[in-house]
């Protein structure tokens, strides 16, 4: 019988594989993405937004809230 450590390693591997399959699905739900995000966070996995990477493109698409020319009242809904 496997040791408890081996079982935990296997569980971790299977969970990571299943999460990867879910987030790779074009119909992934926000809850799937959130579980994967938390899994990465719990395992101290950080992403670095480098130019041209998917994370970098996401960051580049976000509005710049520190823009001196913007009117703060325009941000209210």
Q: Give the integer Cα–Cα distance in Å for 39 and 15.
A: 9
Q: Give the integer Cα–Cα distance in Å for 60 and 58.
A: 5
Q: Give the integer Cα–Cα distance in Å for 59 and 52.
A: 10
Contact of 50 with 56, CB cutoff 8 Å: yes
| Residue 20 pLDDT | 95
User: What does the domain layout of the chain look like in residue ranges?
Assistant: 4-61
Could you read off the pLDDT of 3-62 as tens digits, one per residue? 999 999 999 999 999 999 999 999 999 999 999 999 999 999 998 889 999 889 988 998
Contact of 45 with 36, CB cutoff 8 Å: no
In the predicted structure, residue 77 carries a pLDDT above the cut 90 = no
Question: In terms of pLDDT, which residue wins out, 44 or 74?
Answer: 44
Whole-model pTM: value is 0.66
| Residue 64 pLDDT | 84
């Amino acid at each position: 019988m496997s040791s408890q450590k081996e079982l935990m390693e296997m569980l971790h591997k299977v969970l990571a594989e299943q999460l990867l399959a879910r987030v790779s699905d074009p119909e992934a739900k926000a809850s799937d993405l959130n579980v994967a995000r938390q899994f990465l966070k719990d395992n101290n996995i950080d992403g670095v937004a480098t130019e041209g990477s998917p994370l970098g493109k996401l960051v580049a698409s976000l509005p710049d809230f520190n823009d001196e020319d913007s009117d703060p009242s325009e941000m209210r809904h």
